[in-house]
Amino acid sequence: MILAVDIGGTNYSLALGTPDGRILERTTGSTDRSGGAQWMIERVLMVGRRLIASSPEAVTACGISFGGPVDFASRRIVNSTHVAGWDNLAITETIQRALGTPAVVDNDANAGALGELTFGAGRGCRHLIYYNIGTGIGAGIIIDGEIYRGANGNAGELGHVPVLPDGPLCDCGNRGCLEALSSGTAIGRRGEEAVREQPRRAGGIRQAANGPVTAKAVFDAARTGDGLALELVDETCRYLGMGVAAAMNALAPEAIVIGGSVAKAGRVLLERLRKQTDRFLMPVHRPHLKIIPARLKGNSGLLGAVALAAASGGENQAAG
């Protein structure tokens, strides 16, 4: 049995998971940002102890999906942009010491990619690219069934592929990154700008938003055929298509899996994204273009953590 932990800036979840991807028991709560890392670790240990005690089988490994940069090799969290106190934190050592279980940690995009590969939309693939389009754009690259980490461990940052020279400032410090134009946050911001600049065409988006413009409002309005919203979605998909085509030209994966809150937009997003990606792809890659929605949805973090623990051999090591 695997103890799965999903730590995000908004919510956290813990569960018992089987190596074949069943979630047996699950606890979810809101992250108390003011409590910092200390609060979260106390929660994880408390709920983890309870789950281990209630498990029908011995818990032999713990997988952690973390919403921020992770140094996979040293099994440490690098930091969190949302919550204080995570800098260079050896969460895996804390868990091993307190719960007696070997632990492995990775960022949520890599964990999500492994989860989709093992249990979700990417089953049967050897090479795939996973995008999590939400507040930001995270990505994980799978090559030959394993996460590709590169020479310094930080490969896979496809949200920071530049798609617009001198474009909007990104959290990473550069300008015109895919994330700065096509994340949920960026779509909401561009929607707000469009509504301000073109008030006469903004009725549909305003109505869908009923307050500040969000990505969801833009997609909801686009689905009703609203002209301004459709222009925003087309523009979003043009940037995404540039980013996805760059990744596909470089890596030739069998599938591109799209997850995260923006993926909930469904067909209105995916159909345009396919068209735009096709446009930017080298002809030799076009017949192989396969963009599919993620399947794990609400359990993506937890099942990613399960897949991570299973892939790291923690399950077998501890059991054998």
- Write out the residues near Zn ion by the rule CB under 5 A: 160, 170, 172, 174, 177
Sign of CA dihedral 238, 117, 297, 73: negative
Smallest gap from residue 183 Cβ to Zn ion (A):
10
Smallest gap from residue 161 Cβ to Zn ion (A):
9
Pick between residue 163 and residue 195 the one whose CB is nearest to Zn ion: 163
Pairing of strands 128-133, 255-259: parallel
- Contact assessment for residue 294 and residue 122, using Cβ atoms and an 8 Å cutoff: no
Identify each DSSP E strand in the chain by its residue range. 2-7, 11-17, 23-30, 61-66, 70-71, 76-77, 103-107, 128-133, 137-143, 146-147, 255-259, 291-293
Smallest gap from residue 236 Cβ to Zn ion (A):
16
Phi, psi of 130 (to 5 degrees): -115, 130
Smallest gap from residue 17 Cβ to Zn ion (A):
32
Pick between residue 250 and residue 319 the one whose CB is nearest to Zn ion: 250
Identify each DSSP E strand in 150-254 by its residue range. none
| Integer Cα distance of 192 and 293 in angstroms | 27
Determine the longest span between alpha carbons in the chain, in angstroms: 68
Closest CA to 213 of 236, 180, 188, 186: 188
Smallest gap from residue 140 Cβ to Zn ion (A):
16
158-161: long-range pairs with CB below 8 Å, 24+: 158/129, 158/131, 158/243, 158/247, 159/131, 159/183, 159/243, 161/242, 161/243, 161/246, 161/247
Phi, psi of 36 (to 5 degrees): 70, -165
Smallest gap from residue 122 Cβ to Zn ion (A):
25
Pick between residue 170 and residue 217 the one whose CB is nearest to Zn ion: 170
Phi, psi of 133 (to 5 degrees): -100, 105
Pick between residue 58 and residue 172 the one whose CB is nearest to Zn ion: 172
Smallest gap from residue 231 Cβ to Zn ion (A):
24
Pick between residue 95 and residue 177 the one whose CB is nearest to Zn ion: 177
Pick between residue 19 and residue 69 the one whose CB is nearest to Zn ion: 69
Pick between residue 174 and residue 207 the one whose CB is nearest to Zn ion: 174
Closest CA to 235 of 273, 278, 266: 273
Region of 210 (left: φ > 0; alpha: ψ -120 to 50; beta: rest) is left
Smallest gap from residue 67 Cβ to Zn ion (A):
16
Pick between residue 40 and residue 177 the one whose CB is nearest to Zn ion: 177
